[in-house]
Structure 1
Amino acid sequence: MPYDHDDAPETIVRTRNRQAGQLDYINSYYRLPERFGVRATIGGRVRRADEEGEIVDTAGQYLRVLLDGDTKPVTCHATSKMAYWSPKAGWVQATRLPDPYAVAGASHSTGASG
């Protein structure tokens, strides 16, 4: 993997455990497998806007992506302008979760009477 470091074995284990926990959170919170049939994984190919890259790390609820041709990864939201490569389906565009507080079909009032 292009972003690996020459760390001590115990550091590598802690890093992999952190990444696994954060990826589990990202995949379950955004329901990537259920909604889109994809999973965020270290080494997984993604496209942010029009730039392709590889997931190389996690940062809490965010992904660290090394874009093709770059030397430093960027922090990306799992669903904002992100598409995931799937061998079965090709590029799969992720979308944000629905707003649980939005009322379907409701118009927003500004409080001014007209």
Structure 2
Amino acid sequence: MPNRKARLLKLQLGKCPWCGLSFHNWDVLEEDHITPRAIGGKDEYKNLQLLHRHCHDEKTALDLIEIRKKDRSKFLEKLSQFWEKFDWNWINDIPNFIGHTVRKSDVTNGQHTE
């Protein structure tokens, strides 16, 4: 058994923190990031735990929901920043392009061309 798994097993007193059951010799144990790296978790002992394989599968399914939420919010933020560059309004429930908004920061950075 690798040293990291042995240390985690000792820290967890031989129990799976997900289901609370003790590990047995025949169990397949998997390392898990408590806070997934995709949402800012670090690869350090205080963020690692050993789980049964099936418990790890359950936790990963829930983690993926959180990761997708974060990815979606990043997308919406970028989309909002994109639309802020344009003047537009709603006419009969249709967004209509009026013109490009010239921001002071665009002009000072040399991005504005006429």
TM-score by length of 1: 0.26
Structure number, greater radius of gyration: 2
Larger RCO, structures 1/2 (Cα 8 Å, 6+ apart): 1
Q: Which has the higher strand share?
A: 1
Normalized per residue, which structure has more helix? 2
